[in-house]
Amino acid sequence: MIVPQNRPDRERSAMGVRVVSFLQIGRLCIALAVLVNCLPMVSLADEGELRPSGSQGVRFREDVYPLIENRCFRCHAGRESSSGVRLDRREDVLGETNGTPLVVVGHSDRSELVARVTSKDSETRMPPKGNPLTDTEVKLLKTWIDEGLDWDETLLPSAVEGSEHWAFQPVLRPPVP
């Protein structure tokens, strides 16, 4: 193959290997950077398609938190929660702390929380006292679970925060002997 002398971007070395200019490498790097930066946008667009059709999206802070705060936290929040079930920590709701998940993310039909609030049996229905959740409240919980169990750590901090375990205590200097 004959390479024209006036085209430096098509030069070949003595071994016949094509020589690449810094300009070509720079263009390639810029193209790769643009491609890599566009990938998160594509994945965010795909997430929107996972929501149930006709759903407007449930917002935890505005929709779900007021419901569980008013109807559930009286018995199921804090260290002294009834039957050891806590709804104020995501780790407990998902069963990461005790091995018993109350919610199967994306599957409200398989979630214990939904089974309890829709139960007709007065022994297992939640809340045990007062009126049961309305159809609108149950639908809200189901949509929240089906859409991925959105959580707000500023309203409900994680289990690590405030832990009494030694690893989470501030480092103190011991007294000099």
pLDDT digits (tens, 9 = 90+) for 121-167: 888 899 888 889 999 999 999 999 999 998 887 777 555 555 677 77
The per-residue pLDDT for 118 is 93
3-state secondary structure of 18: strand
The per-residue pLDDT for 33 is 81
The per-residue pLDDT for 107 is 94
> Do residue 32 and residue 77 come from a single domain?
no
Domain-located, residue 2: no
* Residues, the chain: 177
The per-residue pLDDT for 10 is 55
- CB neighbours of 175 closer than 8 A, spacing ≥ 6? none
Number of domains comprising the chain: 2
Q: Which residue numbers in the chain have pLDDT < 50? A: 1, 43-55
The per-residue pLDDT for 66 is 92
Domain-located, residue 100: yes
The per-residue pLDDT for 142 is 94
> Do residue 115 and residue 86 come from a single domain?
yes
> Do residue 75 and residue 149 come from a single domain?
yes
The per-residue pLDDT for 40 is 65
Q: Which domain holds residue 35?
A: 8-49
> Do residue 81 and residue 135 come from a single domain?
yes
Domain-located, residue 162: no
3-state secondary structure of 134: coil
Longest dimension (CA), the chain: 91
Fill in the amino acid letter for 131. Answer: N
